[in-house]
Structure 1
Amino acid sequence: MSSERRKILPLDKSVVNLIAAGEIIIAPSNALKELLENSIDAQSTQIEVMVKDGGVKLLQITDNGKGINKEDMPILCERFTTSKLVQFDDLKSIATYGFRGEALASISHIARVSVITKTNQDSCAWKASYKGGEIIGGETDGIKPVAGKNGTILVVEDLFYNVPSRLRALRSHNEEYSKIVEVVSKYSIHIENVGFNCQRQGGGGYDVNVRQAASRKDRIRSVYGSSIANNLIDLDIEIDDETRENYGLVSCKGLISNTSFENKKTIQPIFFINNRLVVCDPLRRAVTSVYGTYLPKGHRPFIYMSLTIKPENVDVNVHPTKKEVRFLNEEEIIELIVDKINDILKNLDSSRIFMTQQILTNTKRIEDDTESRRNKRMKTNDYEKKTETPKLKPISQIKKLYEHEMVRSDYSQTTLNQFIKAPNNTVKEQKPMTLLSIKTLREEVESHSDDSITKLFSQHTYVGIADYKKRLLCLQYDVNLYLVDYGSLCYELFYQIGLADFSNFGVIEIANENDEGLSIKKLIKDEIYGNEEVINLFKKNLKTLPDLDTAVKTAFVDMKEMWEEYFNIKIDASDEGNPKLTSLPLLIEGYIPSWNKLSLFLFRVITKVNWEDEQECLGGILRQLALFYVPDMIYDNDNEDDNNSNEEAKVKLRNVIENIVMPVVKSRFIGTDALRGDVIEIATLPKLYKVFERC
């Protein structure tokens, strides 16, 4: 080794930036948190997160906020650039999330970053890509006009591609994705009037799906389930002027579990200080210690708490990832909070609910205990009061939704499965853009949501199919039994899936015996135009049948790019006089719609869809697609062979409903007021006990 003394030299700028990036972005969830906070700061009302490979391959955040000005885009990813600070003293009163100008810069040094953004004043959206903090292509050529809506789409790809040591240190993709879901979940609980959803690219649905209008208790219900939401009590500490002045505590609000909550799993407390998600170990230990007096050994509470402290008393810049904050008078503030929680739990302890096994010898006592438990839950749960499922119409008044134009089903006929080449369950690359018309249709569904119906379907226990011809199934919810028209339910479900996954469906490839597509004209002509019984049904609404050649050309040949782009319906129009259908969309993996209604679907598209208006056109197609996906009614026949076919069909249908459709309903379905007439209460446990008593 040379004895010559080494000189102190400044590090290369690229090395400095990589070190800074490593301090801030430890894992994909850190990057997501930074980007999520920026979207919230931009006054977004809807934030959508798309993830691939745990956020390493893709991390995409789409919001409908104010957007980024075009003139700010060249320095968007430069270090220490921000619109929220001017001088150091501004840190003392900072009230926003992202503020140091480091997040995007750091991410751009360890990932490939691209941005699509549009402000309300812009006539189009602008797209730019970044590397190493600098815009690719320069200020002149790096910003390109593209189609887009108001807001920002920020795409982070190949995270840590140039830091292999950090990449190797990451956990599995599933674990990293779980951390991302946790971050989105906690912000979706805290930030009101903002809708959140999070999903894997190509996944089966949303892992977080919180509506914009949902209350905080409903948000907790969506994320953590009803067992927690039903046992929450409000925490709202009154802060007097002396406390505010001496300690700087402005407010302390939240939701905490009551003394009847039974849970052995550790749920990390959710703490927000000045709207920032933080870890506060002293507060966590103090609150958990209080609960130790009231809960059985080994049981853990649920705690969500939001503190507002005077900004000048809080140092938000003590941790690179902003995970921790420091604030003055920490011990005094924690003591105040703990004393208040102790008072609340002490008052509840006199009416704790203990679950005990009932001896079935006294039905009157069981009925009284059931009513008592329900009344206690009602006292401690305002949500139950507001959204208890109302008494619905009696079964005799059920109004059925039939496809009156549908050809009678015959299960001895060919099924669509025989036309499938090889089901391709892979979803196309997710498109970041959403049409305004689709967004409007989504908002329309949400505006007609019914909390009681949504709650019933999200918490139901599936019983079974009651009637295949009328398409009725049984569900249990709480102590009630319901009869549901699963035809109507599937119709609404597939329409909502169509809106949620618009332009990102899977694909079912189809072909005839010659390995060609199915002739659209032949299907309509043979099954519809050639069937007098079906035509008579349509004559009520159609004065004359449209010319088949013209209608098929207008609806399918001229619009084939639209069909493929938005619906994954591919049309081979090499012979314009005889276009062929070569694929259909896959709405739910594992479920293939009935071949019997394909010709009807094609015919209704050319007669029921308004092709002059974009929103009505796309909404109309999605409605017809949903109707096509509704399972067939199954009729019992006198013929023994037909009955054997029907029994096989019933077995398949039971499997589809129980194992494919209802799990999706439970996880992502929004109950609407359109279903109120299709859900009927047929039995309730307290009433049955009274009947048994009289017997």
Structure 2
Amino acid sequence: MLLSVVVRMVNRIAAGEIIVAPANALKELLENSFDAGASRVEVVVKDGGLKLLQITDDGHGIHKDDLPLLCQRFATSKIEKYEDLESIDTYGFRGEALASISHVSRLSVVTRTADSDCAWRATYSDGELKEVKPTAGNRGTQIIVEDLFYNVPSRLRAVKGGSDELSKIVDVAGRYAIHSNVGIGVKKFGESHFALSTRPGLSVKERIRAVYGNSIAGELIPIDIDGIEDYGVVKSAGQITNPNYNNKKAIAPVFFINNRLVSNDVLRRALNSTISHFIPKGHRSFIYLSLLIKPQNLDVNVHPTKREVRFLHEDEIVEKICIRVTEELSKIDSSRSFPTQTLLPHNIRKRKVNEEEEEESKAPLAPSLQKKRLDYKLVRTDASQSRITSFIKAVESSQYTETPTEAPTRIFDSQLSDAEDDKSEATTVTNTTVIPSQAQTQAQAQHQHNYTKIDKPQVEVNLQSILNLREEVQLSSNRQLTEMFANLTYIGIVDSDRRLCAFQYNVKLMLVDYGSLLTEFFYQVALQEFSNFGIVRLETPVSLKHLLSHIYESEVETTLNVEDILDMIVDMREMLDEYFSIGIDVSNPDDPQLTTLPLMLKGYIPSLSKLPMFVYRMGAKVDWNDEEQCLDGILRQIAMLYTPEYISEGTPEMDEMQKQVLAQQRYDLNLTMENIIMPSVKRRFLAPHKLKKDVIEIANLPGLYRVFERC
């Protein structure tokens, strides 16, 4: 069923088409002031024009008898019939501006004519006059717009407000100041100085100087276009910057057609294309152009905000303008001035130059040039400097060197071929025993081996799947995150149970999930070392069946049985050994043995308690049917093996010995992170975009200074 929309809703919808932002309201009100013959207009803005937009002019004012119709839609003194549009020579003509503003704000008008004994203050709501009362006031009109868009929440949320809207208001006012020769001042509410101030009676060049500064005004050349009178152009004038003006920031061209600020994409593109032949690539010019066209050739009723117009013979007029601009710029293009720097003569001896530079470096800077040290921006740590603890060799506590076991697994002596080290270097690890269900601390493993050297040639990898994976790592890297990790200063582990550690970057304190970080890091190391891994050789091979039995005896949900996993790994043993240094001994077909593992970082051995899950996931979670997916899956499993485990913070039910063991594990892990893992992260890690969610800033020095007023 169709229903007629209520009048109030119709008016509010129409107002939203005309008053899009505070700058649009200002444009309409400025044009009203110009139509009233004002020579000076002052604008006061609060909260970007949303809280207050006040325009005061010294025009002829509004008669009291006209106040009831002032804010009604289509009430205008500019036209009486449609044909009047063909001869319109005023800014306003539809009678919609004040009506639209009154429907989306709280509107007040203070006005006085020359023949009135006092001023009159009128308030409006939804286009209706609410109250009129006499008040003191000067000749002219003051429009007070308060709480703009208070009844249109969606539009209010869309408008940024504050400095952004103030910039737009100053921009609109400045463009009208250039063209209208009316003095315009814009300032924020409560401030004495003006953000923009121009005087009436200035030349165009001086008005441009007041709005855009000396850099533009000093390089202007006038443009007078002749020969377009036949196309209905009564008068034309403009100013553009010459080729000597260097500016890379785009400035929207200032176009006025019949004294109306408009945008014209055809004219803008044509002028930019013409000027681009005379200025360096990437530079921009300032353009001001005013055209006075016969009213009958111009259609001003095209756009709700009147920002666009249409006129006859547009192509011919644009072409004539571009030809004239080309002629003027060609006159100046014969000579070009550039900023220069004085160079020392070549016959001055190098020693003398060095002596002068040394003397200049010793001389104190002038007080105005001395850079003040800001304590709250001072970085007090050097990310490239080693910490003193890295030179202290940890001494193992004997109470943790032996662990009772029912089914021991001997670990390993180790051979190494790390890309960062000599290819002839290897390591031998002393014997100890572990239970796979218990964590072997990284620092203990670190101090239980000695390195020797072997010969192992470097393999050049041309496998397309690996090249694709390496390219994916490059493409997914985030430059800012990578720079952050390359220049971090490691602080320590904050929570080993949730795998959180802290580091400093410049003046920021960051918190990172080191589980996610190191999984990505070790994946990249494994991808880089593909076919060239160092070798961790287990002194006593470990039964794969024995390792898998720990998985099937636990509460872990499994999808494949032991035989299927063993068959899969045994069938792929040659590939695993050649590409990943994962050795499988099948001399006893009924009980295959794990003999070697890949070595990722010199001095760091992963927790052997992760071997059961590593072997199970190798068989159950890797897609062995697709080459690239298979290699990627194995690399992921190796990375997960090398990622440090969760270490519990302990519970009240634990005895003192258990708490000491956990404390020692946390200490050893922190030592390994500080001296081995994080230095490698700084050198080799390309941080991916997805790691953003795992890194947060928890404090920064400027913020702490604001709270504590000291470091």
Q: So what's the TM-score if we normalise by structure 1?
A: 0.49
> Which structure would you say has the larger RCO, counting Cα contacts within 8 Å and 6 or more residues apart?
1
Q: So what's the TM-score if we normalise by structure 2?
A: 0.48
Larger Rg: 2
